[in-house]
Structures are given as C-alpha cells and as structure tokens.
Amino acid sequence: MGILANMCMGAAYASSVFAKPILLHLGLTKLGAASVLVPNMALWANAFSINLACLPVGMLLSGKIADRKSPRVVVIGGGILFGMGMFICGFTNSINWLYIFFGVVMGIGSGAAYGAIVSTSVRWFPDMRGLASGLAVGALGFGTLIIAPVASYLMATVPSGNVPVLWAFRVLGIAFLIVIAVGGIVIKNPPLSYKPANWIPKTSFQASTSVKDFTWVQLFGRLEFWVLYVMYISGAFSGLMIISQASPIAQTMAKLTPAVAVGIVASMGLSNALGRVFWGFISDKIGRLGALLLMFVATSVVMFALPAMALAHQPLLIAVLVVSACYGGYLGIFPSVCADYFGSKNLTVNYALLFSAFSIAAIAGPMVGARIFLKTGSYANAFVIAGVVSTAGGLLTIISLLTRKKTA
C-alpha cells in the first residue's frame, strides 16, 4: 500500500508535461534566443523546485509522529494535502497560485507521506534495507510512467468548456487524495526490537543492527553526515535538471513532437523506478558506497556527453534513461545509508534532515538548466555543469570508501 501511495506522488516527476500548457494558459512567455516568444520555463522550474524543496519540510514536521506514534496518520494527512493541492491547482490564475499549491502544499504533503512510507519500509526489512527502500521510493518512478500519459490523455479529451491542463489537475487531484488516504490506512510500524524470523544480522557495518541510534541534533556534529549531505546534493543535481526539463529538452534540442517527448518522460519514469530497485539490490550486495560510486561515474560520463546526445532522439533517450536510473538509485539508497550510519530508531527525522540536501539540488538543478536555456537557447552548458557536480560527488565517495577501509 505504501508503494501504491508513492506511485501517486510520482506526479511531481511527470510534471514537465504540464509545463508548457500551464505557462501558455497563464500567458507566461519570454523572448527566446531566436527572438521568438517561448514559455518562460524558469517560472515552472521555480514551482518544481519549491515542490521538491518542501519535501523535507513535510518530513521534518511529521517525522516524530511517524517514528514514535503512527505513520498511518502522517500518510493519510499527507495524502489529503497532496491531493487537495493538485485539485486546487486546477483553478489557478497566476504563477504565485502554483507556487503555493503545487509548490508548498503538495510538497509538504508529499514529504510527510513519503518519509513515513520509506522509513516504515526500512524498519520492516532490516535484512534487505537497500531493496526495501528501493522498492518504496521506486514507486514514484513507476507513478511517472503511468501519470505522464494519463495526464496527456486527460488534456486531449477534456470536456467542452474546460481548460485542458486545469481539468487534468482537478481529476488527478481527486484520484490521488483517495488512493493515498486509503493506502495509509494499513501502514504501521513493526513491534519494538522486531527482526525477521531466522535472520542472523551480519557483522558488516551496513547490515548491523548494533549501529548507535543518533538523534537529529547529534548529526550536526558528525563529519560523515556533512560528507553524505554534499554527496546527496551532487547525486540529485543532474537528475532533477533533466526531470524538470525533459519535455522541453526533447522538443527544443532533438526537435521532437510533444507526443514523442511525453514518451521520453514516461520512459524516464520507468527507468527512475527500476533504478531505485536495481541499485538498492546492488547496494545490499556490494555496499552502499560502492554502488554510489558506480552511479556517480555513469552520471558524470553521460552528462558530459549529453550536449551531443541530446540532438537526436535515440541518443537522448539512452542518456536520460541512464541519468534517471542513477538518480533513482541515489534516492533509493540514501535512506538505507542513513540507517546504516545513524541507526533506525529516529530514521524518519534523521533522514528528513539528510534529505534537506535534496532541496538544495531541487532548487539548483532545475534553475541552472532553465536559466542557461533562456540565455543561450540550448541546455548544453547546463549539462556540462551537471557533469562537474556529479564528478565532485564521485570524488567524495572515493574519499569515504578509503576512510571506511582505514577505520574498519
């Protein structure tokens, strides 16, 4: 049921299909590089960034309730905020309206429900933390695969008298509210000191149940927390840039039709989801840091090559599939990394604090892409910047691996 609820919240990752229609509806255009009026994607990037930046806010506000009392209340409440926020977007008449309801309200609701679902999943499967968190967060990607074409269908078959994009917001909002709230009814924490039957904890760092349980206040004084924090920013940066701009990249650089661009967005959602599950499974086998290093290398190589790959359909598709799979992997693995380093007792709050790094990436990645496009008419320089950021994350991962070996 957690997976089902998280699938609905994948709407944020499918949101690039709403970008051009809502900007054109609101008359938010700007003179582009070729002296042609184009949708002001920087404004949509703002809404997308606010939404993702508010995720850890929702997690922090609800974390203690989920950890100490019941994740059920948190998931249901988050679902109500998320669904109502999207429904109210269906009545928008300004970009500020979107900033409030798509950005703040949906973001806080999604963060509350998402954080409770992921931390509860990890608690129920201490023997398979990577896979469990990968499946839970992978649902967002699977949701993108479904929601992107459904949203396009709703906008194409709108009843007369309705604005297509607003109609899609209203219908999806009601559906999401119902599904998430119903899913939250059965979600609960395992009993104290729970462990799976016949499971003998390994003695390795990442699988041990004897890791000290740190409070969120203690994390501020630990160097490894801040290293992980910067790694999280570096990992999420490229994926968020591509996800927020996927449809415009496909239409402007590869000259693809809107319908084909929607296909790329949907395919990217599947890759995002599978990446979360795949890399979570791999991390259980080779270690979290080893899996993270492989993802940083793959992301760096593709981002540096993307200025050329983005000019044609097939190379662009391959590139965004790799980047989105690695992006999904980062989000799938980091909840388990947080539990490995800082314990599972206070996981919802601790991961919310670590997840605030995601907010920085959610603001920086989309904005760098949108602003460079508006200035140059191309995303090429933005891709190179993302490649540099990802390389920095890879170097920090290598340092962490070497440090681990010395202290093991």
How far apart CA 339 and CA 228 sit, in angstroms, is 12
What is the rounded average pLDDT for all residues in the chain?
85
Q: Please indicate, yes or no, if residue 226 is contained in any of the structural domains.
A: yes
pLDDT band at 408 (very low <50, low <70, confident <90, very high): very low
Residue type, 138: G
Answer for the pair 126, 195: CB distance below 8 angstroms, yes or no: yes
How far apart CA 35 and CA 265 sit, in angstroms, is 28
pLDDT band at 76 (very low <50, low <70, confident <90, very high): very high
Domain that holds residue 34: 2-192+214-407
Query: What are the backbone dihedrals phi and psi of residue 185, each rounded to the nearest 5 degrees, phi first?
Result: -60, -35
Answer for the pair 348, 70: CB distance below 8 angstroms, yes or no: no
Answer for the pair 41, 178: CB distance below 8 angstroms, yes or no: no
Q: Please indicate, yes or no, if residue 200 is contained in any of the structural domains.
A: no
How far apart CA 115 and CA 26 sit, in angstroms, is 33
Maximal CA-CA distance, the chain:
68
Give the 3-state secondary structure of 216-248: HHHHCCCHHHHHHHHHHHHHHHHHHHHHHHHHH
With a pLDDT cut of 90, the percent of the chain lying above it is 31
Q: Please indicate, yes or no, if residue 206 is contained in any of the structural domains.
A: no
How far apart CA 122 and CA 134 sit, in angstroms, is 10
Whether residue 68 has pLDDT greater than 50: yes
How far apart CA 23 and CA 40 sit, in angstroms, is 7
pLDDT band at 331 (very low <50, low <70, confident <90, very high): confident
Q: Please indicate, yes or no, if residue 199 is contained in any of the structural domains.
A: no
Q: Please indicate, yes or no, if residue 204 is contained in any of the structural domains.
A: no
HSE on the CB side for 102, CA within 13 Å?
Answer: 31
Count of domains forming the chain: 1
Q: Is 47 exposed, middle or buried (0-12, 13-18, 19+ CB in 10 A)?
A: buried
Cα-atom radius of gyration of the chain, to the nearest Å? 20
Answer for the pair 351, 338: CB distance below 8 angstroms, yes or no: yes
pLDDT in tens, 138-196: 787 778 778 888 888 899 888 888 889 999 999 999 999 999 988 888 888 888 777 88
User: What are 89's two structure tokens?
Assistant: 């977007």
Whether residue 218 has pLDDT greater than 70: yes
- As beta bridge partners, residue 37 has 31
CATH number assigned to the domain comprising residue 381? 1.20.1250.20
Q: Do strands 37-39 and 29-31 pair parallel, antiparallel, or not at all (unpaired)?
A: antiparallel
pLDDT in tens, 345-383: 788 788 888 988 988 898 899 889 888 887 888 889 999
With a pLDDT cut of 70, the percent of the chain lying above it is 94
0.75 surpassed by pTM? no
Cα–Cα distances in angstroms (integers) from residue 397 to residues 61, 176, 236, 276, 332, in the given order:
30, 37, 14, 19, 16
Q: Please indicate, yes or no, if residue 383 is contained in any of the structural domains.
A: yes
- As beta bridge partners, residue 29 has 39
- Helix 106-124 vs helix 41-53: angle between axes, to the nearest 10 degrees? 40
How far apart CA 268 and CA 57 sit, in angstroms, is 26
pLDDT in tens, 283-317: 888 888 999 999 999 999 999 999 999 899 999 99
- Helix 106-124 vs helix 129-156: angle between axes, to the nearest 10 degrees? 150
Answer for the pair 137, 6: CB distance below 8 angstroms, yes or no: yes
Q: Please indicate, yes or no, if residue 316 is contained in any of the structural domains.
A: yes
Q: Please indicate, yes or no, if residue 207 is contained in any of the structural domains.
A: no
User: What are 208's two structure tokens?
Assistant: 């041990």
